[in-house]
Chains A and B, each alone.
Chain A
Amino acid sequence: MEDSEIIRLYFLRDEAAISETAKCYGKKLDYLSMGILKNADDAGECVSDTYLKAWNSIPPQTPTYLYAFLAQICRRLCFGRLDYGNAQKRTCELVTLSDELLCCIPDSSAQAEYEEGAIGVALTAFLKTQPEEGRLLFLRRYWYCEKVAEIAARYHISESKVKTSLHRTRNKLKAYLETEGIFV
């Protein structure tokens, strides 16, 4: 079923909207949440909560890209489920990801606090200036939280190429944040 038809079901408050969404995007959302949480029970609950949140959000919202809309909700729910206060509960991969991004912050000792939304706007502006390859690899790594090996397998390229590209994009992000005067 096309996205527009699924969204129409949401607007009609037809519960088939949920089953059609699950049929179309359930596996992708499962994969995303499992990648972040590494726990089938938690991942399943987050995906179910995603459907509920979508049901409550559409209408009034009308997503332009239904999967991106659902995935944003799902990713946020997964991150919310992680206990940031207890590093042992965070998945090893997520610790690695946050450590990798730490080196992008010009002055990580600065205690400046920014809204997630403001960071998102800055990252969007930065990513739109990047070449397609670097942008896609960066998104797969830091948005979809995929392992380097998975990204390499997805795009049929070597792991060293993925690592090199990510390293360059992180360096460029650091330079971008510095020149924009953000986070210093």
Chain B
Amino acid sequence: MNGMDLLNGMGCIDEKLVEEGEQRTLKKPAIRWMLPLAACFAVIVIAASFLPMNQTPPPTAGGEPAEPPTAGNEQTGTLFGDTADSGRGEDGKTDYCPPLGGEQLTQQQAYAQPKFGAYLPKIPADYGFNSAVAVADKTGDRLFASWSRGHEDFTVHISELGQEDKSRIVAVEDTSLYDMSLYPIPWCDSMPPDKAPIIENPIFKAEDLTVDLIRLREYIRGEQNDPSGNSINLHFSVLYGDILVAVTTEGVSAQTLFDALSVLPRT
């Protein structure tokens, strides 16, 4: 009896569970989605209190009339066409099936992807390409790609900078927000809870990126039974203008990662 037997045995579980794994999404704590809603509502109320009913919006610095405030952002991803749709018509019937997890791309297609392709780092040739997925939904457009070499992994997740991401932008002087040597595992004991989301995935501005900075992000899980438990792990994001490139690596050196990230966006 070994792990592969268990993995094979997983193939025989109840179909209902498989269907559930396919259809269900995780419920987020109510407070998580209520906060942005409440923030939007507050902005609308404040904006409305400053604008008389029939007044046109004041011109911006460039002389263009400002857009009136809207109640909600109806924009959906436009990069990938129909994949942004839920796949169900008004009558609830499925008129087509959206691809699972977005649009699967080849490596070449990923690098040629119009919006994010230039921000996809060039990976050393001896890494094997795993997959690339372009996603467009109501949370925005994203491009995800991953490569492997043995137990080493290199994954990249590119998106536009969201409002909720801005709190994770760190200044290089504030090493307490990104120096992983200050936070031994288990992080739940060592990281201050209010800063943990920033420390786990800080955002560096592209112009601040150096090899030494990346080295401060290194950590080793040291888990038993994990073949890559003693590999160097790196996880952080880099901001290029308003494009956010999040990288997660196992077994990749800081120098290799710096070489890949410092030349972005490629022209």
Contacts and interface: CB of A to CB of B under 8 A. Distances in A.
Interface in B1-59: 1-22, 24-27
A19 interface: no
Contacts of A118: 9
B262 interface: no
A23 to B, nearest CB: 7
B99 A147 contact: no
B94 interface: yes
A132 B51 CA distance: 47
A68 B11 CA distance: 11
A127 B2 contact: no
B139 interface: yes
Contacts of A136: 20-21, 24, 26
Interface stretch (B61-69, B114-122, B150-158): B150-158
Interface string A95-135: 11111111111001011111011111111100110001101
Contacts of A143: 10-11, 13, 17-18, 21
B7 A101 contact: yes
A183 interface: yes
Given A102-B3, A114-B5, A72 B11 contact: yes
Contacts of B130: 38, 93, 147
A131 B133 CA distance: 29
B15 A110 contact: no
Interface of A: 1-2, 23-25, 27-28, 30-32, 34-35, 38, 63-65, 67-69, 71-72, 75-76, 79, 84, 92-105, 108, 110-114, 116-124, 127-128, 132-133, 135-136, 139-140, 142-144, 147, 149-150, 153-160, 183
Closest 6 CB pairs of A and B: A120-B12, A119-B9, A98-B3, A102-B3, A139-B21, A101-B3
Interface of B: 1-22, 24-27, 93-94, 96-97, 99-101, 104, 128, 130-131, 133, 135, 139, 142, 144, 146, 148, 150-151, 153, 155, 157, 187, 197, 200-201, 224-228, 235, 248
